[in-house]
Amino acid sequence: MEYTIKYKAKNSYETEVTDALWQFLIAPQDNESQKLRLAEFKNSLNAATEESTNSLNFNIYRVIQRKAFKSIDFEANFIVRKEEVNPFSALDSIYNAEHYELINSLDFRITHEQFLNSTELTGYPGAGLSFEFEENRSVFDNLQQLNNWLFTNFKFKQQVTDIRSTPEDFVARGAGVCQDFTHLFLAIARKNKIPTRYTSGYLHQGNGYKGDSQMHAWAECYIPEKGWLGFDPTNNLIALENHIKVAHGKDYSDCSPIKGVLYTSSSTNSTEYSVEVFAREENAPDVFTQSQSQGFDDRANQQQLDFQMQWQQQQQQQQQQLRKQFSAKF
């Protein structure tokens, strides 16, 4: 399969921003099941753009604007080829006690410690859950059951949670978006000692899957003898050719598509944001075609606003923080 992906963002501020830096984690990863054939990234102010990598070695774009401005548009276009790989094997559903011995071994836990410990966003909910791993069931089947359990018991609904929502909040509300499904999946899988990482990327919107007009999230689990495999609990799917991976991390905070540092007195701003994924003909010429539709997503919008509000508030509190943080260390 081949896809064209268009990512757009527009930031506007009421008063001038004098200095700004953004970091985008939006470029599809090059890996064994996907090839990034073409990438372009531009902005309306022709601000300098650099490529670099984040601490987990995923590619990022950095945009630096040192002249005053009130509004900026970003647009990224990618062409990606996904290999059709069949990850299933006859062994997946056969219980193997050695697999459980392996995941309990010290060497295994050391190798995967990064994705075994809970984080602020992936804490196991205090209230009892109706899901448990079953003994005598294969690791793969248990994870499949978890995927199915999340899909069946939780509703996909926007604007009931926000970027700081925890699995506990998600369980209490019974509804949320792909990030919430993924964070709860991570909490449960890690509690059962399965190395699991938060994965961000794009979902091909062709089949009416949920979470298609924004960046999507799913989980990748390390299964003994098999390696990393993606589970998408929002859609009860195994991540295959419809899932285009950008990055992974411990939780959302390692994968947020846009981070920024702005110097402004502006108290109000607006952000619009959209993602489109189109299937394209295999081996068509590698050029970008004009897209027709333009959808903006409310939740993504909200994330941006939250982020910027937070930033401004925190700038105001800076003085206070300085005093609190640096206590005399004698």
Partner 1 sequence: MSQSQTQSIFSSYEKDPKFYDEIFDEDGNVKKVYQTLFDLYSGHSSQDYARLNDKAKASFFNQGITFQVYSENEAKEKIFPFDLFPRIIDPKEWEVIERGVLQRSKALNHFIWDIYHDKKIIKQGIVPLDLITSSANYLHQMIGVDPPGGIYNHISGTDLIKHSDGKYYVLEDNIRCPSGVSYVICNRTALKRALFGVFNHYNAHTVTDYAQNLLEMMETVKPRGVDEPNCVVITPGVYNSAYYEHSYLAKAMGVELVEGRDLFVENDFVYMQTIKGPERVDVIYRRIDDAFLDPLEFRPDSALGVPGLFSAYKKGNVCLVNAPGTGFADDKAVYTYMPQIIKYYLNEEPILNNVHTYHCSRPDELKYVLENVDKLVIKPVDEAGGYGISIGNRLTKEEIEKVKKTIQASPRKYIAQPIMSLSVHATYIEESESFESRHVDLRTFCLLGANKEFVLKGGLTRVALKKGNLIVNSSQGGGSKDTWVLKKKS
Q: Which two tokens stand for residue 151?
A: 């899909």
Closer Cβ to partner 1, 13 or 61, answer by number: 61
- The HSE-up count of residue 268 (CA atoms within 13 Å, CB side) is 1
- Shortest gap between Cβ of 147 and partner 1 (angstroms)? 26
**Residue 318 beta carbon to partner 1: minimum distance, rounded to whole angstroms:** 5
Alpha-carbon Rg for the chain in angstroms: 21
Pick 213 or 308: Cβ nearer partner 1: 308
Q: Report the site for partner 1 in 248-267 (rule: CB under 8 A).
A: 250, 259, 261
Judged by CB under 8 A, how many residues of this single chain contact partner 1? Answer: 37
Least distance to partner 1, CB of residue 116, Å: 8
Q: Which of 10, 71, 117, 220 binds partner 1 (CB under 8 A)?
A: 117
Tell me which stretch binds partner 1 (CB under 8 A): 78-86, 91-99, 131-139, 319-327: 319-327
Buried b (16+ CB within 10 A) or exposed e, 187-221: bbbbbbbbbbbbbbbbbbbeeebbbbbbbbbbbbb
What does the block give as tokens for 66? 């040192």
Span 83-112, contacts to partner 1 by CB under 8 A: 106-107, 109-110
CB of 109 to partner 1, least distance (A): 6
β-bridge partners, 50: 62
Q: Applying CB under 8 A, which of residues 54, 96, 236, 266 lies at the interface with partner 1? A: 54
**What is the longest distance spanned by two Cα atoms in the chain?**
66
DSSP 8-state code for residue 304: H
- The owner of tokens 């900026």 is 72
Single-letter residue type at 74: F
Check residue 312 and report its DSSP letter: H
Which residues make up the interface to partner 1 (CB under 8 A)? 21, 23, 48, 50, 52-55, 62, 64, 106-107, 109-110, 113-114, 117, 250, 259, 261, 307, 310-311, 314-315, 318-319, 321-330
